[in-house]
Amino acid sequence: MKIVTLLPAATEIVCVLGLRDQLVGRSHECDHPADVPTLPALTSARVDSTLESGLLDAQVRRVFQEGQPLYDLDEARLQALTPDVVVTQAACEVCAVSYEQVARVTRRAAPNARIVSLEPARLVHVLEDVRTVAAACGVAARGDALVSELEARLARLRPRDPRRRPRVAVVEWLDPPMLAAHWVPDVVEAAGAESVGPAAGGASPYVAWEEIAALRPDAVVVAPCGFDLERTQRESEPHRERLNALAPRVLLADGNAYWNRPGPRLVDAAEQLAAWLKD
């Protein structure tokens, strides 16, 4: 079986299921495990992701206002790979190539391929997606085993006294500021904290700094979408005074690896947050 994954979380799911040797293509953003970047990249972005937060946000808005897709998909390369399974997503057109675009191109380039579309909004959906990918790739039992392992790790994080939980806000973008929704509040709750801000399952909203302060968080996690820890530290520096005024404790995190991707490493994020809150 030949598998193409068009979002980083799907690539991680495929690899942790033991199917790395069947992975033949990826998105340009897939970077984990470490050897994945050696595979052909089938997507490219129409914006410069190295821009500072404010400029990048403005560029993304401009592309959408023009009615253009944010990503391009290499039809010729997809056709040459002749995949049996193409894993894509329908959750966020900013995070990865859209489902409609993938479906349209795949019908022409690889008409016999099975398209598996993931649309997680909550942490539980991410676990369901593991099973979905495993079943589509013929390893359903591995998917069940992996989900059981992830659920057991989450169960170990449950607080002994649920009444004593720190209030945690997660900042998903810095300029303009945005609070994290989707599965992130579930990850915070899984870590034994109380998530303050938007409800789980919805879109992440833009907010004012004063709105974050009004939530009275005990701790703030800064995990900008797509930023590794080094970039988070660099782009947080101009906002350091504001961030420190929001809460007694501020954690700068690798959002790209642990918080933004709806894959198995969300459990790692919950474990890391739980350990930090106990320090």
User: Which residue ranges form the domains of the chain, and what is each CATH number?
Assistant: 3-152 (3.40.50.1980), 167-278 (3.40.50.1980)
CA–centroid distance for 261 within its chain:
2
Q: What's the CA gap between 7 and 157, in Å, rounded?
A: 28
* Length of the chain, in residues: 279
Q: How far apart are CA 270 and CA 274, in angstroms?
A: 6
161 token code pair: 């006294």
Q: Which two tokens stand for residue 230?
A: 């080094």
As given in the structure block, the two tokens for residue 220 are: 């703030």
User: Lowest-confidence range among 96-105, 151-160, 182-191, 206-215?
Assistant: 96-105
Residue 269: CA count within 13 A, CB half-sphere = 29
39, 42, 212, 258 from 197: Cα distances, Å = 39, 36, 8, 19
Q: Whole-model pTM?
A: 0.92
Question: If you average pLDDT over every residue of the chain, what do you get?
Answer: 93
Structure confidence by residue, pLDDT tens digits, 228-255: 999 999 999 999 999 999 999 999 999 9
Q: What percent of the chain has pLDDT over 90?
A: 82
Element (H, E) at 219: strand 219-222
pLDDT at 12: 97
